[in-house]
Amino acid sequence: MQGKGLLTGLSVTIRHFFGKKVTVQYPEEKLPMSETFRGGKLVLDQKKCIGCRLCSMACPNEALDLTVETDENKKRHMKKYIHKSGRCLYCGFCVEACPTKAVTWDKNYAIACYTRTDLTYDAVKSDGRNETHE
Amino acid sequence: MTEAVSKVIRTEEYQLSMGPVHPSTHGVLQILLTLDGERVVKAVPCMGYLHRGIEKLMESRNYFQCMPYTDRLDYVSAMNNDFAYCRAVEKLAQLEVPERAQYIRVIMAELNRIASHMIFIGSLAVDVGATTGMIYPFRDRECILDIFNELCGARMTYSYIRIGGVKSDLSVKVIDMINVFLKNLSAMIDEYNDLLTGNEIFQHRLKNTSVITAEQALQLGLTGPMLRASGVNYDLRKDNAYSSYEDFIFDVPLGNSGDNWDRYIVRMKEMRQSAKIVKQALDGLPEGSVMAKVPKVLRPPKGEVYVTTEGPRGEVGYHIISDGTVKPYRVHIRRPSLINLQALDLMCRGYLVGDVVVAMSTIDPILGEVDC
Ligand code: SF4
Ligand code: SF4
């Protein structure tokens, strides 16, 4: 019968019209991010960091700009950990490369910002998340 | 009288530029159409709007650092691109991939193929004007993206398949998610069939339009579903089996007339076959490690390789030349979308403007891959 296919299709639509919602009502509702989720901003745990620079060496796009300081006991620690997120590919190679698991993602995926300079931030200052540099 | 009128009212060919900002060009592609009334005389795709120079970028990074860039070629099926790149580097560096990793790669590549074909169905539906038909495949593709997100932390740019194996082993949760998805897939495909395949308007738009014969397809160098829709049985997973594909039983769906309808049906059938492969791979998943011993600093010996993999759009090939250093000397990528797109002119000539949109859609190009 001509038009039968159309009606079958329409029945699917009607069935779903009265069915359960499948979309998440963002921003009232938010999905939890997975354990492995790569995204948001980088957080550096200064106590764990040994200043080996392996993270920045693993980075494919030179998105990390580190300033390492050596104190009087010849111990290296991170002074500045600039993440140029505008260059970042979110590949997570930096996190994987770190031998002491000092650098992690904060998983806050809402990272849109108004100006270009806001894209660059220092991961050392965990309290100054939105501070800009350069 | 009529003769006199036809002399006065003369139609003249004119040019129409479709794109680069047009919803049905799947990205930033410009098509220069030469029209005679509503008939297409010539269709020329103008590419390059999304060119990022990925081949060049890869030459200035080491072999590991190239991974995120291969993700960004065909971003709808990034797993398959990573897969092809890794196989090329592994061949160059003579690395042996553990069997478990090979199986996991197959699972992920096939899931990504299903996701990619879902995008195809959705965008084809919206291109022929069935907006409702778009929502369902996109909703279901989300299930696969959730699996990938759980697996590697990204929905599109996975970097999961790595040189020498895969990034991490499958967790119990991921295996469960895949099983649930496989169980639901059949119902999902039935729903698309109800919505689209049986729809008479949809059939009228697709059947007997943009026919490519087997001979023409071979001459143009088409691969993947485009080629198989014309009836040529060529699938690298069968004909040049890699990564344990020989262990799985599956069919290669073929079309016979090479029209838009066949290209649609072939992809529809391929989804079920991919699910079959995933099921077999999950059931027979061997034990062992998922990563070969790969040196921290990879310096493949001097030489060159060309390795091909069957992606959702066709043959993805990587030609890599090594000069013995940590960076590739030259990378050339055979991108199936680019080559399949060359059939556009043939597919549009003599048809109406409305058919250009459908032809474009059944080629299923991803502009990230076309422009590289
Ligand atoms: S996620 Fe990748 S691109 Fe971004 S900073 Fe880390 S290594 Fe660099
Ligand atoms: S964050 Fe990790 S890899 Fe980077 S310098 Fe510190 S310890 Fe080394």
- The ipTM, to two decimals, is 0.84
Q: State both tokens at B183.
A: 């169980």
Nearest ligand, measured from the Cα of A93 = 1
pLDDT at A81 > cutoff 70? yes
What is the CA(B42)–ligand 2 centre distance, in A?
Answer: 57
Min CA distance, B150 vs chain A (Å)?
Answer: 5
A111 exposed, middle or buried (CB, 10 Å; 0-12, 13-18, 19+)?
Answer: middle
**β-strand B39-46 against B314-322: which pairing, if any?**
unpaired
Q: Are B178 and B107 in contact (CB under 8 A)?
A: yes
Nearest ligand, measured from the Cα of A85 = 1
Contact B68 A89 (CB under 8 A): yes
Give the integer Cα–Cα distance in Å for A78 and A45. Answer: 10
Read off φ and ψ for residue B12, nearest 5 degrees. Answer: -125, 145
- Give the ranges where chain B is alpha helix by DSSP (H): 2-8, 54-59, 67-71, 78-93, 99-127, 131-152, 172-192, 200-206, 214-220, 225-229, 236-239, 260-283, 336-341, 344-348, 353-363, 367-371
pLDDT at A131 > cutoff 60? no
**The predicted structure's pLDDT at residue B296:** 87
The pLDDT confidence band at residue A13, using thresholds 50, 70 and 90, is confident
**The predicted structure's pLDDT at residue B3:** 57
**CA–CA–CA angle B66, B72, B78 (5° rounding):** 95
Closest by Cβ to A22, choosing from B133, B139, B152: B139
What ranges do the domains of chain A cover?
34-122
- Give the ranges where A18-101 is alpha helix by DSSP (H): 54-58, 93-97
Q: Indicate the CATH number for domain A34-122.
A: 3.30.70.3270
**The predicted structure's pLDDT at residue A99:** 92
What is the CA(A57)–ligand 2 centre distance, in A?
Answer: 10
Task: Give the global pTM.
Answer: 0.90
Per-residue pLDDT, averaged over A33-57, amounts to 87
**The predicted structure's pLDDT at residue A26:** 86
Flag whether residue A62 sits within 8 Å of chain B, measured between CB atoms: no
Flag whether residue B359 sits within 8 Å of chain A, measured between CB atoms: no
Packed helices B353-363 and B260-283: angle between N→C axes, nearest 10 degrees: 20
% residues pLDDT > 70 (chain A): 92
Flag whether residue B151 sits within 8 Å of chain A, measured between CB atoms: yes
Contact A5 B199 (CB under 8 A): yes
Mean pLDDT, chain A, whole residue set? 84
Question: Tens of pLDDT along chain B (372 residues)?
Answer: 455 555 666 678 888 888 787 777 777 888 899 998 888 999 998 888 889 999 999 999 999 999 999 999 888 999 999 999 999 999 999 999 999 999 999 999 999 999 999 999 999 998 888 888 888 999 999 999 999 999 998 889 998 999 999 999 999 999 999 999 999 999 999 988 888 888 888 888 888 888 999 999 999 999 999 999 999 999 999 888 888 888 899 999 999 888 999 999 999 999 999 999 999 999 999 998 899 888 888 899 999 999 999 999 999 999 999 998 999 999 999 999 999 999 999 999 989 988 888 998 899 888 888 888
**The predicted structure's pLDDT at residue B8:** 67
